[in-house]
């Protein structure tokens, strides 16, 4: 029994500081408001980033569409030029009066065809390189901007 009396004496002598519920409520409210504010800021950043990414993708698709149309037109022009050259050569061969003239026409035609093929290949290479650069540019710009923002943050 002596132990129980000592424990009761000790419990009576311990002073508990008064718990102020209003301070705790104020602290919780402040903490919650801070969390909401940080969430709003994070949402705004994510939303802005998503909008920028969407714009970059839309620009990329528009550029790809334009570039593919340009390349298609170049292809059609090259095919037309090749067909016209072939028909012109065929007409010249039909009009030839001797075997030596046919051989000369054929060698001239082949030389011109090789030159034309080289020129067309150069044009397509240049157009394709420019097209690839134009298509990638919007995404590259958005990526670089996002990377700079990450470095700042």
Contacts of 130 (CB under 8 A, 6+ apart): 67
pLDDT truncated to tens, each residue of the chain (153 aa)? 455 666 656 556 565 566 666 777 888 888 888 989 998 988 888 888 888 888 888 888 888 899 899 999 999 999 999 999 999 999 999 999 999 999 999 999 999 999 999 999 999 999 999 888 888 888 888 878 877 776 765
Contact 120, 30 (CB under 8 A): no
pLDDT of residue 57: 86
Q: Could you state, in order of their start, the residue ranges of all structural domains in the chain?
A: 22-152
The first and second tokens of residue 38, run together, are 């940080």
pLDDT of residue 147: 76
Residue with structure tokens 């311990």? 14
* CA atoms within 13 Å, Cβ hemisphere of 73: 7
| pTM of the full structure | 0.61
pLDDT of residue 11: 58
Residue with structure tokens 């790809």? 64
At 89, give phi and psi (nearest 5°): -65, -40
């Amino acid at each position: 029994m002596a132990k129980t009396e000592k424990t009761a004496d000790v419990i009576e002598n311990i002073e508990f500081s008064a718990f102020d519920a209003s301070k705790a409520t104020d602290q919780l409210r402040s903490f919650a408001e801070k969390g909401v504010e940080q969430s709003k800021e994070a949402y705004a950043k994510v939303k802005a980033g998503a909008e920028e990414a969407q714009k970059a993708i839309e620009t990329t698709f528009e550029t790809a569409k334009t570039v593919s149309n340009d390349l298609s037109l170049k292809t059609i022009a090259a095919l037309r030029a090749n067909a016209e050259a072939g028909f012109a050569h065929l007409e010249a061969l039909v009009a030839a009066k001797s075997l030596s003239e046919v051989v000369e026409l054929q060698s001239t035609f082949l030389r011109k065809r090789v030159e034309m093929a080289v020129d067309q290949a150069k044009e397509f290479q240049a157009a394709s390189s420019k097209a690839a650069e134009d298509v990638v540019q919007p995404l590259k710009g958005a990526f670089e901007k996002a990377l700079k923002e990450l470095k700042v943050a």
